[in-house]
Structure 1
Amino acid sequence: MPQMAPMYWLFLFFYFLAIFLVYIMLTYYFALPLVKSGSDNQIINCESLNWSW
C-alpha cells in the first residue's frame, strides 16, 4: 500500500532517534562518574575524558 510509505519513514526516523538517545545516555552514564571521581582530588584525569573508542 503506497499510502503507508510516510508512516514507514516516520518509524524509521524514530528508530534511529531512539538509538542515538540511548547512545548519549550510555555515554553520559559511563563518563560522568569518571569525571566526578577525578574532580574530588582537584586533578583532571585525561584518560577519563577520552572517548571509549
Structure 2
Amino acid sequence: MPQMAPISWLSLFLLFSVIFVLFNVMNYFIYLPSSSASKTSKKISVTSMNWKW
C-alpha cells in the first residue's frame, strides 16, 4: 500500500480547514435574526408568585 508524502497530508489538511472555515462563515452571515419590530409588539406578562411558607 503506497504511502502519502507529508506535503500532500499538509495540503489536504489546509484544504479541509479552509472548507470548514468557509462553511462556518457562510452559515454565520446567512442567518437573519427576526426583526425587532415584531419583538416590540409582543407583551411579556409577568405574574408574581406569592410563596406561602
Root-mean-square deviation over aligned CA pairs: 2.0
> What is the TM-score normalised by the length of structure 1?
0.57
> What is the TM-score normalised by the length of structure 2?
0.57
Distance 1:20 1:42 in 2: 34
The runs of 4+ residues in structure 1 deviating greater than 6 Å are none
Higher relative contact order (CA 8 A, sep 6+): 1
1:42 shift after superposition: 2.3
Give the total of aligned pairs: 36
- Structure whose alpha-carbon radius of gyration is higher: 2
Calculate percent identity across the aligned residue pairs.
Answer: 36
Task: For structure 2, list consecutive stretches of 5 or more residues without a partner in the other structure.
Answer: 41-53
Task: For structure 1, list consecutive stretches of 5 or more residues without a partner in the other structure.
Answer: 44-53
Q: Look up the match of 1:48.
A: none
